[in-house]
Amino acid sequence: MFAKILIANRGEIACRVIRTARRMGVRSVGVYSDADAGALHVEMADEAVHIGPSPVGESYLRGDKIVAAALATGAEAIHPGYGFLSENPDFVDQVTAAGLVFIGPPAASIRAMGLKDAAKRLMEKAGVPVVPGYHGEAQEIVLLASKAREIGYPVLIKARAGGGGKGMRRVEHPDDFSEALSGARREAKAAFGDDRVLVEKYIEKPRHIEVQVFGDIFGNVVHLYERDCSAQRRHQKVIEEAPAPGMTPALRKAMTEAAVKAAKAINYSGAGTIEFIVDASQGLKADCFWFMEMNTRLQVEHPVTEMVTGTDLVEWQLRVASGEKLPKTQSEIALSGHAFEARIYAEDAAKGFLPATGTLHHLKFPDTAPEGASMRIETGVRTGDAISPFYDPMIAKLVVHGKTRPAALEALGIALSQTEIAGSTVNTAFLAALAADADFSAGDVDTGLIGRHQQALTAVPPPSSEIVAAAALAASGAGAQAPTRDPWSSLAGYAHFHAIARRTRLRYGEDDILALVSMRPGGRFQVALDAPYDSALDLRAAARLARWPGHVTVFSGALGYSFAVPDPLAKADEIAAGADSLRAPMPGLVKLVRAAKGEAVIKGQPLLILEAMKMEHTISATHDGTIAEIATEGAQVTDGTVLVRFAEEAHG
C-alpha cells in the first residue's frame, strides 16, 4: 500500500478521498488555487501545495504543476477525483512518465472510452447494444442534418467529448437543427475544447441507469449493481438512487453482464461506470437498453453504491492501484436496502437553476440520521466559506440509506427539511419537493420528470405572517437571538406605563415590510405587521433562523426565507434594476451578442448569450423596445452588471 498520495482535486471529493486514506494509514497531499487557500480540503490534508491562480486552466488543469507537487512532497501516487484531469489520458501519461502511479485506469482505456462516437463503435464490436444514431467523424452540417432526418425526429445532439449535459441539445423539428447544432458546438468547445458532436435518436421516456464496475490488473472485473440517475435538470443529475426502482431480474442480469463485457473489452482496471439509456415507455424490458458512455473514474454518485453494497470504493481504488486483487469476488457482493443521494447546489431553481454565489454565513446539516436510517454528508465547505464563480457550485451531497425505498425516501425528506443554509440561494426546497413528488415517490421516473413538473417543483410560496413576524423579531434584536449586550434585550420584561415597542423594517424581494415589536409577559413578544400582512402575532423567538450581515433567514422545513434588514443610517439606493435594463443574473462571459445598438427588438427575442459555469444562458428581451446600449462579446461581467439598456421610448 502507498505511504503517501496526492489528490489532484478540490472540494467534497478531495475531502472524501482524504478520509479513506487517513483510515488506511495513508498520508495525503492536497493542492489548491488562490481561491481555495483556506478551503476545507487544504485543512484536512496532511500537507498542501499551492498550484496557481483561481481559474482552473491555471491551477487544477495544470498537470505539470500537479506532478511537480507530487514529486516535491514524496507522494507515490495521484488520485484524480472526478472532473478536472480525471479522464485526461495525457495527464495519465505525465503521471506514469514521472514514475508515479495514477489511481485510475490506464491511459489506453481512457482513450478508448473518451470520445462517445469511438466508444460506441467499440461497444458495437463487443456486442454491447448502442443507441441508434450517427457516430461518425464527418461533421459537415449538411451531413449531420441528413443523418438526423434518417434517424427520425426528435433527435439528441451530444458533444462527443465530456459529459454533464454540456454541449447537448434536444431537437424536435428539422427547422431547429442548425441553431441547436451551433449552440451545442459552442458549449462543447468552451467546456471540452472539442466542438465535434454525434446525433442520436431521442428516447421518448428515457431512464438513465448506470452500472458500477471495478477491475484489477489481473483481468478480474466485477459489477456492484446499478444506480438510477434519471432525476435530472438541464441534463445534470440531482438525486440518484440505488438500486433502480422497478428493476427486473432479467434487465439487471442483461445490463450488468453488458457492463462487465464493456469493461473487459478495454482491459479496464479501477473504478468505472457504464451508463445506459433505457426505454421505459412500456416498463423495464431486457431488450430496451442501450450503451451511452463510460465514465472512466469515480462517479459523483458513488456513495449510494457504497451504502447498498457495504463497500468503500475509494479503498478499492487504492488497493487495486497499489497492485492488489479486487477485495471481493462477484458472489461476495450483495445488495442490501435502498439509498438516495441529493446534490445540494448553490443555485436558483425558480430561475431555471441558475448557479449562485455567496458566502455560507450559516451551514447546518442534521446531527443524526432519521430513525431507522443511516446518513452521511459529503461536503467540502463549512460555515463562512464562499461559493466561488470559478468552480462547480455544489455545496454537499446528502446520502441516506433505509431498509426499503419508501423508508429511505422518507429519511431523505426529513434530512432535507432539517438542513439549514443561509448566505446563498440553494436548492434544498426543490430537492425536498422532488422527493415528495407523487411520480418520483412511486418510482415512475425518467429524465423528463423534472421538466414536466418544474413549475410545481420550483414554486416558492410567499412567506407566511408567522415567518415574517419571526424575521422581524430577530431583526429587532429581541428575544433569544439578540446579542448579549443589546440594550433592547436588557429591557426585556420591563415597562413603566406601557409595553416597550420597537419599529423594524425588512425587505423580502420587492416588498418593504414594516413591523412593530412589543414586549409581552413571560418572555413573549407581539409583532404587528403592516400591509400586505396586516396582522398582529404573539410569539417567542424562532428557533430555526440565522442572522447574518444585513439579513435574517427563517427556515421552514426545507425552505429558507431570507429578509434584508436595511441599515437605517445608510442612504437608500435610489437606482434599481428597472424595466429599462437587463442585468446579468450571475457572473459570466458574454459569449454571443445577437442585437445591436439602435435595433428595435420584440418581447422574447434573444439578445445575447451569457456563459457561466460552462453552460450557456440566453438573455431575452422582456418587452418591445429599442436598444440604447448592449454588452460587447467577450466581456467578463459580474452579478448585476447591466447587459442591455433600452431607450426611454420603450416605456412611452
> Is 169 marked active-site?
no
How confident is residue 491, by pLDDT bands cut at 50, 70 and 90?
Answer: very low
CB neighbourhood size of 94 (10 A): 19
Q: Is 342 helix (H, G, I), strand (E, B) or coil?
A: strand
pLDDT at res. 499: 54
pLDDT at res. 482: 40
Q: Could you tell me the pTM of the whole model? A: 0.82
Q: CA-to-CA distance for 260 and 257, rounded, in angstroms?
A: 5
CB neighbourhood size of 110 (10 A): 25
Q: CA-to-CA distance for 101 and 79, rounded, in angstroms?
A: 9
How confident is residue 165, by pLDDT bands cut at 50, 70 and 90?
Answer: confident
Q: CA-to-CA distance for 494 and 350, rounded, in angstroms?
A: 45
553-572 pLDDT, tens digit per residue, is 999 999 999 999 987 544 33
Greatest mean pLDDT among 110-119, 187-196, 256-265 lies in 256-265
* Mean predicted lDDT score pLDDT of the chain: 90
Does residue 528 carry a pLDDT above 90? yes
Does residue 650 carry a pLDDT above 50? no
Which has the minimum average pLDDT: 172-176, 436-440, 441-445, 482-486?
482-486
Which has the minimum average pLDDT: 66-80, 200-214, 417-431, 530-544?
530-544
Q: Which long-range contacts (CB under 8 A, 24 or more apart) does 188-192 make?
A: 188/159, 188/160, 188/161, 188/162, 190/591, 190/611, 190/614, 191/159, 191/162, 191/164, 191/166, 191/167, 191/614, 192/159, 192/161, 192/162, 192/166, 192/167
DSSP assignment of 236-281:
EEEEEEES-TT--HHHHHHHHHHHHHHHHHTT--EEEEEEEEEE-B
> Phi-psi category of 479—alpha, beta or left, where left has phi over 0 and alpha has psi -120 to 50?
left
Average pLDDT over residues 122-151: 92
How confident is residue 613, by pLDDT bands cut at 50, 70 and 90?
Answer: low
Q: CA-to-CA distance for 111 and 545, rounded, in angstroms?
A: 50
Active-site option among 297, 502, 547, 645: 297
